Amino acid sequence: MIAFRRSILFSMLGFFMPSLFGLAKRQDRATVIPDMKVLFENEHIRVQYHDVKVGETTALHSHPAYVAYVFNTYTGKAVLADGRETPLARKPGEVFYSGPVTHKIVNTGNTPIHNLIVELKKVTT
C-alpha cells in the first residue's frame, strides 16, 4: 500500500513539475529581486539598475530582449534555466544586447556588477 501511494505521489509530481518549472522560468526580475531599482517604466521599456554584490548569485529570472550599459569592470557567469553556463567579463563603457533570456547571474569576481539595463517590452512601428 505504501509503495502504491508513493508511486501516485511521484506520478503527480511528474505531472506538475514542468508547470512549476515553467513558472520559475517566467519570473520577472522585479518580482524575484525586490530591491531592484527601476528608474523608468512604460508600456515600451523598463530602465533599471542591475547590481550584483561580490560573491552573490541572483534568483532565476527572465528578461525580454534588452540593451545594457556597463559601469565597471567585472567577471561572473550567467547560468541559464537549463543549467548551461556562460562566462561574463565586462569593462566600463561597454554596451551589449541580449535577446529574451531566463538566467541567474553569479558574481565570481572581486568587484560588484553594476549595469544599466533597458528592457524592450514591445516594438512599435
pLDDT value at residue 3:
55
SS (H, E, C) the chain: CHHHHHHHHHHHHHHHHHHHHHHHHCCEHHHHCCCCEEEEECCCEEEEEEEECCCCECCCEEECCEEEEECCCEEEEEEECCCCEEEEEECCCCEEEECCEEEEEEECCCCCEEEEEEEECCCCC
pLDDT value at residue 32:
72
Residues of the chain with pLDDT under 50: 4-25
pLDDT value at residue 96:
97
pLDDT value at residue 1:
54
pLDDT value at residue 68:
97
pTM over 0.95: no
pLDDT value at residue 23:
39
pLDDT value at residue 36:
76
